[in-house]
Amino acid sequence: MSTSAKTRIVGASVPRKEGVDKLLGRARYVDDIEKEGMWYGATVRSTIPRGLIQFIGFDRRIDWTEFTVVTAADVPGKNHVQLIAADQPCLADGKVNHCDEPILLLAHPDKYKLREAVGAVHVEYEPLPPVFTIEDSERQDVIVWGADNLFKSFLLEKGDVEAAWAHAAHIVEGEYRTGAQEHLYIENNGVIAEFDAERGVTVWGSLQCPYYVHRSLAAVFDLPEDKVRVIQTETGGAFGGKEDFPSTLAAHAALLAMKSGHAIKMVYDRMEDLAATTKRHPSRVRHRTALDRDGKLLAMDIDLATDGGAYSTLSSTVLSRATLHSPGPYVCPNVRVRSHSWATNTVPYGAFRGFGAPQACFAIERHMDEIASAIGVDPIELRRRNFLHDGDTTATEQVMREPVILDKLLDRALAVSDYHARRARFARENQGGAIKRGLGIAAFYHGSGFTGSGERYLNSLAGVDVTAGARVRVLVSSTEFGQGTNTVLTQMAAEAIGLDYADVEMAPPDTGIVPNSGPTVASRTAMVVGRLIERASLQLVAMLREHAGLGAEYTRDEFFAACARYRAAHGDVVSLVRYEPPPGIFWDDQKYRGEAYPAFAWAVQIAQVAVDTVTYSAEVEEFWSVQEVGRVINPVLAGGQIEGGIAQGIGYALYEKVILQNGHMANNQMTNYIMPTAEDVPPIHVYFEEIPFRHGGYGAKGIGELPHDGPAPAILNAIKDATGVRFSAIPLLPEDLFSRLATRHSVEEAAAV
Amino acid sequence: MSACVNIRFNVNGESRAIDAPPMKRLLDVLREDLRLIGTKEGCGEGECGSCSVRMNGELVNSCLVPALQADGATIETVEGLARNGELHPLQRAFLACGGAQCGICTPGMLMAAAHLLKHNPHPGMAEIREGLAGNLCRCTGFIRIFESVVAAAASEQAADAR
């Protein structure tokens, strides 16, 4: 089996495939591209959270004959963004459901004239009452979506939760909340579109999922598949923020292109990107947990709610992943998860690294520490007593058939952080000082790939081909946006075929060239698509042996000579393979039972936090992350994924607050939406345990999302360890620390008098 | 935009002259007038540092510099780092250490790192953190960028010793 064989290129830190272009500044991002006769596009957006559009007026000081104007009436096909459901209009038609909803589009050859023109379009509304919170939405006094404000609900049941309370030695309850989080990719959303009566629509853009955009454009323009072409340009960060949103922006630019007869570039500035594009779903999770007298879990009753924003977008699948991650990596005979995603009148929340898991993980991992306090057990020991092991079943009754090494990850995390000695030292040093230090832990899994039957529905197709110029190309729609797709997939192809890394390149991420290998999401690329590339590469070699006389052993020259012979006799040298689910997979979409994920990645993280009780700042001083992600394909890139995810998780916990005023993001600038800088990130220590997963590309499992799941609960657990005060909501800013710690101190001082 | 003025400056060692509105951002002058697209816009308000270039030996956010102010200046951009097809030591180190992921902050980060090493060839970790604090990277968590700067400084030292 390939996963146990010695490898030459897989497992080596070969340099990033497109790295030199990026370092020389010659990589072409969408804003670096110009088209002949190109115009620029801009968007007129709603200024109210909910209402009926009464009138659209155009200021006479502008010469509108110079502009192309597009409204919902110009949409040739369906006026909706095609995603899971079709409830979100491309352009508002008669009513708006959130601030910054697109109403009207403008194009002009001079981009500097567009800003003034956008301000010269006046929309008059009849306001309707908006809903802004989960609580307001679930009360259902005001219905803003469908019949009941409810995008989706799930019920996951194992055993009999109600019967368990009576036998419990302890019952512990808690409520946990997480805020919205902005992706803050440094390259804003942007596309260029062309329309041609013969060729149809062509879009170049900063995006994750070319075929999502392709499908949505075909519906908006009522065009057959072959009249829509989507090409990913170099993409400056995405993190889920370019999973669904580019379908909207691509449609806008293409509508302007069709009406104006010009190529159209639309690149958002930072304020527009922050105000108008998706963010991580805010959440509220309630836990009620029963334990026996030994601290073993008897029952977990979990109520999970997310704020989905104004349209359904990906809220149902985010809720699904949140539901499946909410019980944590623990064994429990009785579990009930009731989850709901609610509509509110804000910009739709969407995909963001972790996809519901960070919210769920925050709640369960904070709650485990609260249980530990409540029943008088050490938080490490409580986790250890309840960890999943090989052969155990999860809340969906999925049997852990692959090795689960949580104990080993925990032991290593404790050892490398010198946990016990450090904690003892802090207990001494915290006495009397203004700085209180603490350590906090989080243990968690992240399901790799699409949930349940998702990968079977995707039915991905991928492969490799060989050009006449003696280059092997990887054929996938899986995209590079910093995480390393180009590198790991070419590593796998080179390994399987027996070539050098330099002999393999990526085919252009262009729907006119590459097959649909599925979206670049869900930590699925290395595992699922990588496996397809491994199989396609081995199939290519077998094909050349059978039809072109390639020997059992071969040199590089012999390989390409065989390719030339094959081409002369049979045509294109191409090998495609389709996804095949691992055997024995069962999933019931209705009952939410069975194999929720083909594989899980596992991690234990420890945060050291210092709380300054004078300034009320909390600083993460050091961070340890020990994980098992299957085979590590490229150690340097893998380490970078873990470190980057942890930095985003630190921001999620302590810095990043989306402030909504009347449903509009009020702090839509980098000046006042704060992410961790070079001076804020702590030293991060990363360790891998490797257990190759036999159904993943060269043994890989998912890695990209995992590291973002743990930092927030680990940090808040550390703050509790440092201060003794329980915090249950993120982001936790100095003012939040002040409001609780200052009160407590004044009480203590009063008591001391 | 207002009437254009003639602006002469030295960019990456070459004398250049363009006509541009006096308040046009240096960032746009570089990208649009000179087609030096390596310099990136991330926020347009001097927060993210993606548009960092060196002007008269100082590190500046080119989105905050009006064209007029660049008249007569010496400008260095990412395109000027590599010489004669040879990557700059920082570029080599970023490639080897994983200092670049999505790459959009990389040109500005490289300019900030080059500026730091010019003034302090062997910076300590605290000095590296401070030197790069004006440049935001959302992908790496900065750790491998720090390692890249350390590696580049070490390779420079090795080169000096020869």
Domains of chain B, with CATH numbers? 5-80 (3.10.20.30), 89-161 (1.10.150.120)
- The CA distance from B113 to the nearest CA of chain A, in Å, is 12
CB contact under 8 A, A484 and B95: no
**Which pLDDT belongs to residue A3?**
45
Please check the confidence at residue A193 and state whether its pLDDT lies above 90.
Answer: yes
Residue A561 lies in a domain: yes
Residue A124 lies in a domain: yes
Chain A partners within 8 Å of B40 (Cβ): 29, 31, 186-187, 236
Chain B partners within 8 Å of A640 (Cβ): 98, 101, 139-141, 143-144
Chain B partners within 8 Å of A671 (Cβ): 45, 47
* Phi, psi angle pair for A491, to nearest 5°: -60, -45
Chain A partners within 8 Å of B137 (Cβ): 186, 678
Of A26, A234, A681, the CB nearest to B38: A26
Indicate whether A689 and A611 sit together in one domain. yes
Residue holding tokens 């254009």?
Answer: B4
Instruction: Report the CATH number at residue A138.
Output: 3.30.365.10
- Cβ pair B135, B42 in contact under 8 A: no
Residue A29 lies in a domain: no
Question: Per-residue pLDDT averaged across A212-238, rounded?
Answer: 98
Indicate whether A89 and A209 sit together in one domain. yes
CB contact under 8 A, B138 and A234: no
Count of the separate structural domains present in chain A: 4
* A316-to-A323, A450, B105 alpha-carbon distances in Å: 10, 13, 33
Indicate whether A102 and A221 sit together in one domain. yes
**Which pLDDT belongs to residue A705?**
98
What's the rounded Cα separation, in Å, for the pair A624 and A409? 11
**Which pLDDT belongs to residue B159?**
65
Please state whether beta strands A170-178 and A729-730 pair in parallel, antiparallel, or not at all (unpaired). parallel
Question: Per-residue pLDDT averaged across A716-730, rounded?
Answer: 98
Q: Which two three-digit tokens encode residue A540?
A: 């290519």
Question: Per-residue pLDDT averaged across B68-81, rounded?
Answer: 98
CB contact under 8 A, B97 and A24: no
Question: Per-residue pLDDT averaged across A205-229, rounded?
Answer: 98
Residue A2's pLDDT band (cuts 50, 70, 90): very low
What's the rounded Cα separation, in Å, for the pair A532 and A522? 16
Residue A589 lies in a domain: no
What's the rounded Cα separation, in Å, for the pair A624 and A604? 8
Residue A582's pLDDT band (cuts 50, 70, 90): confident
Structural domain boundaries, residue A175: 131-181+279-378+385-392
SS3 A735: helix
**Which pLDDT belongs to residue A539?**
98
Residue B101: other Cβ atoms inside 10 A: 29
Residue holding tokens 């809720």?
Answer: A319
Label residues A583-604 b or e (16+ Cβ within 10 Å = b). Answer: eebebeeeebbbbbbbbbbbbb
Contacts for B72 with CB less than 8 Å, ≥ 6 apart: B8, B9
Label residues A296-306 b or e (16+ Cβ within 10 Å = b). Answer: bbbbbbbbbbb
Per-residue pLDDT tens digits for A623-632? 999 999 999 9
Indicate whether A177 and A223 sit together in one domain. no
- The residues with which A53 forms a beta bridge, in sequence order, are A125
Per-residue pLDDT tens digits for B110-122? 999 999 999 999 9
Indicate whether A633 and A744 sit together in one domain. yes
CB contact under 8 A, B40 and A187: yes
Residue A362 lies in a domain: yes
Instruction: Name the least confident of A145-149, A296-300, A738-742, B100-104.
Output: A738-742
Tell whether omega for the bond before A731 is within 30 degrees of 0, i.e. cis.
yes
Indicate whether A639 and A750 sit together in one domain. yes
User: Which pTM value belongs to this model?
Assistant: 0.97
SS3 A113: helix
**Which pLDDT belongs to residue A742?**
87
Question: Per-residue pLDDT averaged across A86-100, rounded?
Answer: 97
**Which pLDDT belongs to residue A284?**
98
DSSP E strands, A344-380: none
Of B94, B104, B144, the CB nearest to A23: B94
Q: Which two three-digit tokens encode residue A648?
A: 């985003």
Chain B partners within 8 Å of A678 (Cβ): 128-130, 132-133, 135, 137, 142, 145-146
Of B50, B77, B130, the CB nearest to A186: B50
CB contact under 8 A, B100 and A23: yes
| Residue type (1 letter), A399 | V
Chain B partners within 8 Å of A19 (Cβ): 94-95, 100, 103
Residue A585's pLDDT band (cuts 50, 70, 90): confident
Chain A partners within 8 Å of B31 (Cβ): 32
**Which pLDDT belongs to residue A77?**
98
Indicate whether A227 and A365 sit together in one domain. no
Chain A partners within 8 Å of B42 (Cβ): 186-188, 270, 670
Percent of chain A with pLDDT over 70: 98
Domain end, chosen from A217, A246, A267, is at A267
**Which pLDDT belongs to residue A83?**
86
CB contact under 8 A, A237 and B139: yes
The nearest alpha carbon in chain A to B146 belongs to: A678
Of A236, A647, A681, the CB nearest to B102: A236
- The CA distance from B13 to the nearest CA of chain A, in Å, is 17
Please check the confidence at residue A414 and state whether its pLDDT lies above 60.
Answer: yes
DSSP result, A287-312: EEEEE-TTS-EEEEEEEEEEEEESS-
Please check the confidence at residue A238 and state whether its pLDDT lies above 90.
Answer: yes
The nearest alpha carbon in chain B to A650 belongs to: B141
**Which pLDDT belongs to residue A34?**
97
Please check the confidence at residue B1 and state whether its pLDDT lies above 60.
Answer: no
CB contact under 8 A, A670 and B1: no
CB contact under 8 A, B102 and A648: no
Instruction: Report the CATH number at residue A248.
Output: 3.90.1170.50
Indicate whether A335 and A349 sit together in one domain. yes
| Residue A18 DSSP code | T
Tell whether omega for the bond before A676 is within 30 degrees of 0, i.e. cis.
no
Closest CA to A44 of A101, A112, A108: A101
What's the rounded Cα separation, in Å, for the pair A103 and A276? 12
Per-residue pLDDT tens digits for A473-518? 999 999 999 999 999 999 999 999 999 999 999 999 999 999 999 9
Please check the confidence at residue A736 and state whether its pLDDT lies above 60.
Answer: yes
Say how many CB pairs under 8 Å bridge A and B.
Answer: 171
What is the rounded average pLDDT for all residues in chain A? 96
| Residue A46 DSSP code | -
| Residue type (1 letter), A746 | S
What's the rounded Cα separation, in Å, for the pair A332 and A292? 11
Chain B partners within 8 Å of A27 (Cβ): 103
**Which pLDDT belongs to residue B160?**
59
Q: Which ipTM value was assigned to this complex?
A: 0.98
Domain end, chosen from A543, A578, A613, is at A578
Of A269, A640, A678, the CB nearest to B129: A678
Indicate whether A115 and A211 sit together in one domain. yes
**Which pLDDT belongs to residue A432?**
87
**Which pLDDT belongs to residue A752?**
46
- The CA distance from A184 to the nearest CA of chain B, in Å, is 7
Residue A5's pLDDT band (cuts 50, 70, 90): low
Chain A partners within 8 Å of B102 (Cβ): 185-187, 235-238, 481-482
SS3 A172: strand
Closest CA to A128 of A162, A94, A104, A161: A94
CB contact under 8 A, B138 and A184: yes
- Give how far the C-alpha of residue A114 lies from the chain's centroid of Cα atoms, to the nearest Å: 33
Please check the confidence at residue A744 and state whether its pLDDT lies above 90.
Answer: no
CB contact under 8 A, B48 and A186: yes
Residue holding tokens 């397809």?
Answer: A532
Query: Which of B101, B106, B149 best tests the A interface by mutation, with the highest count of A CBs <10 A?
Result: B101
- The residues with which A435 forms a beta bridge, in sequence order, are A612
Residue A661: other Cβ atoms inside 10 A: 10
* Phi, psi angle pair for A632, to nearest 5°: -85, 115
Per-residue pLDDT tens digits for B81-90? 999 989 999 9
| Residue type (1 letter), A38 | M
Q: Which two three-digit tokens encode residue A225?
A: 């598949």
Alpha-carbon dihedral sign for residues A483, A486, A487, A488: positive
What's the rounded Cα separation, in Å, for the pair A223 and A217? 8
The nearest alpha carbon in chain B to A479 belongs to: B102
Residue A12 lies in a domain: no
Indicate whether A89 and A156 sit together in one domain. no
- The secondary structure of A635-668, three-state, reads HHHHHHHHHHHHHHHHHHHHCCCCCEECCEECCC
Indicate whether A232 and A283 sit together in one domain. no
Residue A685 lies in a domain: yes
Indicate whether A159 and A211 sit together in one domain. no
Of A22, A640, A677, the CB nearest to B144: A640
Per-residue pLDDT tens digits for A313-368? 999 999 999 999 999 999 999 999 999 999 999 999 999 999 999 999 999 999 99
